[in-house]
Amino acid sequence: MSFSELPHTADVRIRARSETLEGIFSDLTDALMQVMYGKFTAIRSETLVVKEVRVSGDDTASLLFNYLSEVLFLNEVGGIVFVRADVRVTGNKLHARLFGEVFDPARHSGGTEVKGISYSGLEVRNDANGYIAEIVFDV
């Protein structure tokens, strides 16, 4: 499981690669948080806040758009920085458990606010090695 940044002048374009579709969703959750808060070391797991996400979509792209938009919403209104996402995808439905820590300006700095998840350039495909997704975050 991994993600990397691709060239994009105005916004942030990410490519994620994973053996499973679920891995793509959880990698992009990490990517989203890293764009917003920079690289930080997560605190001890027993103090984490847990949030549940249930979304559906017409296809994988809209499932990803709806899921990451929901992560962004929960992050902002709850002031929660997510450090892990356990995702289960069943057909066109998704259920995720998100684990996060309370936003702390001293630790979660160095990033840029993501305004939204873009459909432009959003692509999920699979090959012999698993899944690849490309996505643009508007910053």
Partner 1 sequence: MLAGVVQKGELEWEVPIGFVPGMRVPGKFYLSARLEEILEEGAVRQLANVATLPGILCCSLAMPDIHWGYGFPIGGVAAFDLTEGVISPGGVGFDINCGVRLLATPLGQRDVAGRRDLIDAMYQAVPTGVGAKSSLRMDAKTLDGMMMKGARYAVEAGYGLPGDLVRCEENGFMKAADVKAVSGKARQRGVPQGGTLGSGNHFLEIQVVREIYDPEAAKAFGLAEGQVCCMIHCGSRGLGHQVCTDHIKILEESTRKYHIRLPDRQLACAPIGSPEGTAYFGAMAASANYAWANRQVITHAARNVFKKLFRIPHEEIPLIYDVAHNVAKIEEHTVDKKKRMVCVHRKGATRAFGPGCPDIPADLSSIGQPVIIPGSMGTPSFVLKGTRGAMEKTFGSTCHGAGRVMSRSQAKKKISGKEIAESLARQGIYVRAPNEAAISDEAPDVYKPSSEVVRVVHEAGISRLVARLDPVGVIKG
Q: Which is nearer to partner 1, 20 or 66 (CB)?
A: 66
Report the nearest approach of partner 1 to the CB of residue 35 (Å).
9
Nearer Cβ to partner 1, position 45 or 109?
109
| Sites of contact with partner 1 (CB under 8 A) | 5, 7-12, 36-38, 58, 61-62, 65-66, 69, 72-73, 76-77, 79, 103, 105, 108-113, 115-122, 136, 138-139
Would strands 93-102 and 49-56 be described as parallel, antiparallel, or unpaired? antiparallel
Q: Is 11 or 20 the residue whose CB approaches partner 1 more closely?
A: 11
Please, what is the minimum distance in Å from the beta carbon of residue 83 to partner 1? 16
Helices and strands (H, E) in the chain, number of each type: 2, 7
Instruction: List all residues 6 or more positions away from 70 whose beta carbon is below 8 Å from its beta carbon.
Output: 53, 55
Q: At what angle do helices 21-37 and 60-78 cross, to 10 degrees?
A: 40
